[in-house]
Amino acid sequence: MTALWIILAVALVLAAAVLAVVLVRRRRPVVVEAAGPGTLDRPPVDAGSALPRPEDGVIADGVEAPEGGTVRASPVPEEPAAELREQMGRTRGRFSGYLKALRARSSVDVGTWDELEEALLGADVGVTTTGALLDDLRDRVRSGELAGAEAVIGALKADLLGSLVTEGGNALRYEEGATNVWLFVGVNGVGKTTTIGKVARREVAAGRSVLLAAGDTFRAAAAEQLATWAERAGVGIVRGVEGGDPSAVVFDAVARAAARGNDLVLADTAGRLHTKVNLVEELKKIRRVAERPPGVVTEVLLVLDATTGQNGLAQARQFLDAVAVTGVVLTKLDGTARGGIVVAIQRELGIPVKLVGIGEGAADLIAFDPAQFVEALFD
């Protein structure tokens, strides 16, 4: 009898151990942490076997592209699609607290404007945009068009939505039948490489064949990180050696994509450079090269980290003129109460936010929908 109890106890302990291992594995972060130069746990695949070959005056530093085109059978594990509403919890929580206080007021007075201002600034809508929105609302209250807190809140909601809706829309541009190139730019650490991994997964799921270009040659680990995402999404990758010419990598990727019949090249870029060359000049060159036929640059996506708030705007301005940004990807919205930055980006920079990153996982990316955003904010 005692032996039976011992066997039972051992079996229970074993089962618990197996369960613990399974849970730990599932929680393991999906992103390969970028290591510094020289700390790769395995040598760069192409560093030694680079096959430089002249192509229109540009030599690619190295290439790694599986033959036979993009593998469509995606090995990406199915993860539940993330919801903007849930992930905006922090911004929502703070904003709705203010709205509640506003609604409790019997009339619109100085306190109303102070509270609205605090709510908008707290959500990082920014001083300029907040000022413009409130001036307009004040005028309308004065003229008698709006009466009562509820009407003011309703008008603010409509104004916010109005400033988020743009002529070109928030959808990513894509030219059917062309070798589309989407360039991802932004300062280091904002989430460019991670976003490319997520976008690759999304586009593959949408039936497009994708090729990644490791245009961040600043450090070998960057290409390694992108290669991991390529593997997860089941797509090919073209990469160069550390310190190589990023334009050459992008050029080569476009040529290969065209030859393989890929629809879309997602090009990563470095947020900083080794020395001498100016980042802006480098990006201009990458864009020029990517645009050479058969390449068609249909998106230049500026990746901004939402947690940096208004600093992101200053950063953005530096990129705007240089590379004619067509859209913003706002990452890390999951970790901030500063979701209002979306409004500032669109109003002050005139660039639509197209994608929003709401986590580190492959599925944590959503197309930005202004109506959904405003609803979530005022819910």
Ligand X SMILES: Nc1nc2c(ncn2[C@@H]2O[C@H](COP(=O)(O)OP(=O)(O)OP(=O)(O)O)[C@@H](O)[C@H]2O)c(=O)[nH]1
Residues that bind ligand X (CB under 6 A): 31, 34, 186, 188-194, 216, 222, 271, 331-332, 334-335, 357-360, 364
- Which of 65-73, 106-114, 165-173, 184-192 is the region at the interface with Mg ion (rule: CB under 5 A)? 184-192
The binder of 335, among ligand X, Mg ion, none, by C-beta within 5 to 8 A per type, is: ligand X
User: Whose Cβ is closer to ligand X: residue 91's or residue 193's?
Assistant: 193
- Which of 50-58, 70-78, 190-198, 334-342 is the region at the interface with Mg ion (rule: CB under 5 A)? 190-198
Q: Is 331 in the site for Mg ion (CB under 5 A)?
A: no
- Token pair 């530096």 in the structure block, residue: 318
User: Whose Cβ is closer to ligand X: residue 120's or residue 304's?
Assistant: 304
Strand 58-59 to strand 236-239: parallel, antiparallel, or no bridges (unpaired)?
unpaired
User: Whose Cβ is closer to ligand X: residue 179's or residue 195's?
Assistant: 195
For the beta carbon of residue 62, count every other beta carbon within 10 angstroms: 25
The binder of 244, among ligand X, Mg ion, none, by C-beta within 5 to 8 A per type, is: none
Whole-number Å distance between alpha carbons of 309 and 319:
16
> Shortest approach of Mg ion to residue 228 CB, angstroms?
12
User: Whose Cβ is closer to Mg ion: residue 163's or residue 225's?
Assistant: 225
> Shortest approach of ligand X to residue 90 CB, angstroms?
12
Q: Is 91 in the site for Mg ion (CB under 5 A)?
A: no
CA 359 to chain CA mean position, Å: 10
Decide if 76 contacts 229 (C-beta within 8 A): no
User: Whose Cβ is closer to ligand X: residue 123's or residue 141's?
Assistant: 123
| Integer CA distances (angstroms), 64 to 46, 223, 224, 239, 287, in order | 7, 11, 11, 6, 22
Decide if 341 contacts 309 (C-beta within 8 A): yes
The residue with its CB nearest to Mg ion is 193
The binder of 40, among ligand X, Mg ion, none, by C-beta within 5 to 8 A per type, is: none
User: Whose Cβ is closer to ligand X: residue 31's or residue 178's?
Assistant: 31
Whole-number Å distance between alpha carbons of 35 and 23:
26
> Shortest approach of ligand X to residue 300 CB, angstroms?
15
Whole-number Å distance between alpha carbons of 146 and 219:
57
The secondary structure element, H or E, covering residue 328 is strand 327-331
Phi-psi region of 191 (alpha: psi -120 to 50; beta: other; left: phi over 0): left
- Which of 63-71, 189-197, 203-211, 304-312 is the region at the interface with Mg ion (rule: CB under 5 A)? 189-197
For the beta carbon of residue 21, count every other beta carbon within 10 angstroms: 10
User: Whose Cβ is closer to Mg ion: residue 153's or residue 233's?
Assistant: 233
Q: Is 193 in the site for Mg ion (CB under 5 A)?
A: yes
Q: Footprint of Mg ion on residues 194-223 (CB under 5 A)? A: 222
Whole-number Å distance between alpha carbons of 210 and 201:
9
Decide if 182 contacts 254 (C-beta within 8 A): no
Whole-number Å distance between alpha carbons of 244 and 239:
10
The binder of 239, among ligand X, Mg ion, none, by C-beta within 5 to 8 A per type, is: none
User: Whose Cβ is closer to ligand X: residue 137's or residue 340's?
Assistant: 340
The binder of 245, among ligand X, Mg ion, none, by C-beta within 5 to 8 A per type, is: none
**Is 139 strand, coil or helix?**
helix
CA 159 to chain CA mean position, Å: 26
- Which positions lie near Mg ion, rule CB under 5 A? 192-193, 222
